[in-house]
Amino acid sequence: MNKVKIITTVVLLLSIILGSILWRFLELPYVETNVVNNSLINKNHLNDYLRYAVFIFIPSASFLLLRIYQRKFYILKFINELRDNKLSIYKKDQNLLTINILLLLFVVLEFLSLTFPVFKLDFLHEGQELSSSYKSVIDNSLWSGSFIIIGLIQEILTSKFIWKIFNHESIGLMRYADLIYILLCKIFIILIVYKVSIISKLNIFYKEVFFISCSLICLTLINYNNDRLDYDYILYRELFTLVTIYFFLEIITRERGENLFIILISLIGPFSFLWSIDRAIILNLILIVILFYFLLSSNFKKIILFVSFYIISFLFIIFLLGNEFGEFLKNSKIVIEEIGLAHGTIHPVPFSDDKESTRATKILLLILFNILISISLINKTRYPINLRVFFILLSIISFLGYSYALNRSDKIHIAESSGYPIIFTVILILYFLLQFLSKKNLIISKYLFSKKGNFFLFFFIIFVFFFKSINIENIYNYKNRLNKYAYLNDEIYLDKDAIKLINVTKNYVEQYGCIQLFTYDVAILYLLRKINCTKYYFVWSIGTQHLQEDLIDQLKNVKIIIADTDNNKKNPSPKNNLVLVNEYINKKYKKIIEIEDKVILKLVE
């Protein structure tokens, strides 16, 4: 190792150590919020965002300054390279295209082979989608009828749409819609890797090996598992981001027709807020980065086209939503400002014995690795310019995407924020490995196989990968299986206690047009086929004093409430956090009956 590398390594290690030490001491002033959050008592919920930014910034800035000092980083040269970059002419690889189609076919066959999930209902996460969708089916309301904390499409429109197609409401159809989203994510992961394979400019055989290897590894990051507690590294909520990455790759690699993808990518921005609020914030930051790329490339026509259709998309949403648009803005503002306050948790300190610290530290170092590699590649002209641009974009997405784990720092959210850093690392390692093998001629396929021989070799690899996932009988009977699954009785998804709770409760609430929940088991509304009397159907979303007061105001004419019993030990209860609401309910309502771990309360006339 030469002197320069030793200095660089020492500086990086010291800066990482400094960042982890500062993590313990960086703290923003506490601001009184009137929010009950036992995880953040007298703590500013933005602390971890600051700590994360500093932890990544110190090593990144140190490395960048070293590169500048060593005369290995010239941003103006890179900008000139972007401006002088004429669209690369990529040799058509029919074998690669055929393998891409083949892989997509196997992904579809895997989907058609699925055994539909019938695990027990998650009353919180799945109930959130079921109950809000059912209310919209009944009264056609959106934000005016339900306080939405994820996004309109995910919480309401998806289930509502598929229920209308089948003219039937069921838990199975809600889960089936999620499976479709997972399929789409898998498809776009393959398409992204396909485009990266093209811009890699590896020799033909190595390019095909790269595509197969990257695709199969990345496909393992997301699985057909609807269970929210059994996490994946890529959540299906990333669909819009994956689509954006693919469209961007189309823009920078097409000889013609790129304007269509500029229009499509600009339309995604505003519509992403209907998909998922937190994902939309990150995605629109990514779009700003893409705009900045157009600016550096002096592609002013593309900037004008992008901005024009972004505005058109935004205006169309205003027109489409009508009176609901004001409710959308109000709802989104509250979610952005207050959900972190109400439900944020403290992120584990890197390299500590905090719970989940090991997992978090690995991801933080991986994100840092992504950024450092991107910086080091900027002026390495021996690598294709579009490939370097892709790595830079993906490293930025990796950095921004970890914000989900800063808000909710449990193992599930930390793991779900690691998908993009893993994809970056997989692509990088395989690219450099195959480039090395190509230069050394360590794999001389052309002497072993013809193009047809290579194709059959890759077909065999794909077949082996999907062998256990493909079920010919399931594919053949898919239509009948789906129809049966769509109309499965909802009791299949419930345990005995839940069935008893619903059956007994129906007798006491049948006469009422609506009920109010004061429990996190929000699926009760859907299972009773009742709508919530207030917009706060999911009381988990309430945290601040003014939202509690708003709920109390809306409760004044509510006749029936279903709440947790005082001795409920199965799940957390809103009674501990929503003190004002709990006091109001205790004062205004009386108990009718206790059923399992729930109690039915009636307004005292």
pLDDT digits (tens, 9 = 90+) for 550-582: 999 999 889 999 999 887 766 678 888 888 999
514-518/560-564 β-pairing: parallel
Please name which of 419, 442, 597, 526 lies closest in space to residue 156, comparing C-alpha atoms: 526
pLDDT number for residue 447: 45
**End-to-end CA distance of the chain, in Å?**
83
For CA atoms 309, 313, 314, 316, the dihedral sign is: positive
pLDDT number for residue 332: 92
Q: Where are the alpha helices (DSSP H) in 276-383?
A: 277-296, 300-321, 324-343, 357-377
pLDDT number for residue 69: 87
Q: Do residues 415 and 360 touch, judged by C-beta distance below 8 A? A: no
SS3 254: coil
Please name which of 362, 306, 409, 368 lies closest in space to residue 53, comparing C-alpha atoms: 368
DSSP designation for 155: I
pLDDT number for residue 408: 79
450 to 95, 103, 201, 443, 462: CA distances (angstroms)? 11, 20, 20, 14, 18
Q: What are phi and psi of 591, to 5 degrees?
A: -75, 135
Compute the distance between CA of residue 4 and CA of residue 452 in angstroms, rounded to an integer.
47
How buried is residue 384: exposed, middle or buried, by Cβ count under 10 Å (0-12/13-18/19+)? middle
Q: Do residues 451 and 246 touch, judged by C-beta distance below 8 A? A: no
- Which stretches of the chain drop beneath a pLDDT of 50? 447
Q: Do residues 593 and 508 touch, judged by C-beta distance below 8 A? A: yes
List Cβ neighbours of 333 (8 Å cut-off, separation of 6 or more): none
Q: Do residues 367 and 421 touch, judged by C-beta distance below 8 A? A: yes
SS (H, E, C) 96-127: HHHHHHHHHHHHHHHHHCCCCCCCCCCCCHHH
- DSSP letters, 160-189, are HHHHHHHT---HHHHHHHHHHHHHHHHHHH
DSSP designation for 87: P
List Cβ neighbours of 226 (8 Å cut-off, separation of 6 or more): 117, 119, 126, 175, 178, 179
Q: Which amino acid is at 94?
A: Q
Q: Angle at the Cα of 244 (from 242 to 248), degrees rounded to 5?
A: 120
Instruction: Give the pTM.
Output: 0.94
SS (H, E, C) 577-590: CCHHHHHHHHHHEE
Q: Where are the alpha helices (DSSP H) in 419-538?
A: 419-440, 445-448, 451-466, 472-476, 478-486, 496-509, 523-528
pLDDT number for residue 552: 94
Compute the distance between CA of residue 45 and CA of residue 79 in angstroms, rounded to an integer.
38
